[in-house]
Amino acid sequence: MKSRVLVVDDDTALSEMIGIVLKSEGFEPTFCADGDGALVAFRDEQPDLVLLDLMLPGKDGIEVAREIRAESGVPIIMLTAKTDTVDVVLGLESGADDYVTKPFKPKELVARIRTRLRRTDDPGPERLRIGDVEIDVTGHNVVRDGERISLTPLEFDLLVALARKPWQVFTREVLLEKVWGYRHSADTRLVNVHVQRLRSKVERDPENPTVVLTVRGVGYKAGAPR
């Protein structure tokens, strides 16, 4: 089955070009040209992934990302012409999983999409414990005190990556490679922002984390199971 990708971009030439590339790579693109219609298009099309331009007529990309995230964990990749810290961080904090800076290469875009659509095909049932949180990897389920915590696929991947090797401290670069699929060094802010988002969901007190611990100057590690 072809993965459906919703492209939200006001530049029709670029949308069409992205469409050509995606089709040739075996995806099924659908389009939306403004921010106001994005949520409707998202509900109609039920895409597997959203490519979202940050600057849109009507509602801007950040607002759209927040709305989509409010009702779904579908991966969102921002298309951004800005590399300024504030915009990127704002986009990530509003719920985007990853971002590609214009001008990007088609291969880069496709690689980003593939990573986000990649589903870990696990050999058997796997249950992990990290802090006071229990993870059912196969069932894609995270539970604390019998209560289900809803995570986006990316946050789930991040948590599982940490929980699988509780003895290891992960540098941001390693996490970028494992979770985001970056081969070369990329923007470590991706990790910072998503660790914050993950903490806000799985920690009882995000100020004093017990599930995802910071190792100052190195990176992150899983908290001891309790």
As a whole number of angstroms, the distance between CA 75 and CA 52 comes to 10
Least Å distance, CB 32 to other proteins, is 16
**Binding-site ranges for other proteins (CB under 8 A):** 11, 13-14, 17-18, 20-21, 24, 55, 81-82, 84-86, 102-107, 173, 184-185, 187-189, 192, 216-217
| Strand-pair partners of 100 | 79
Task: Give whichever of 2 and 105 is closer to other proteins, judged by the CB atom.
Answer: 105
* For other proteins, the closer CB: 90 or 160: 90
Minimum distance from residue 200 beta carbon to other proteins (Å) = 20
As given in the structure block, the two tokens for residue 93 are 């904090």
* Burial state string for 117-138 with b = 16 or more CB within 10 A and e = fewer than 16: eeeeeeeeeeebebbebbbebe
- Please say whether the beta carbons of 31 and 10 come within 8 A: no
Smallest distance from other proteins to CB 13, Å: 5
Query: Smallest distance, Å, CB 193 to other proteins?
Result: 12
> Considering beta carbons, is residue 54 or 128 the nearer one to other proteins?
54
Q: Which is nearer to other proteins, 22 or 198 (CB)?
A: 22
Secondary structure element (H or E) that encloses residue 134, with its range? strand 133-136
Per-residue DSSP letter, 2 = P
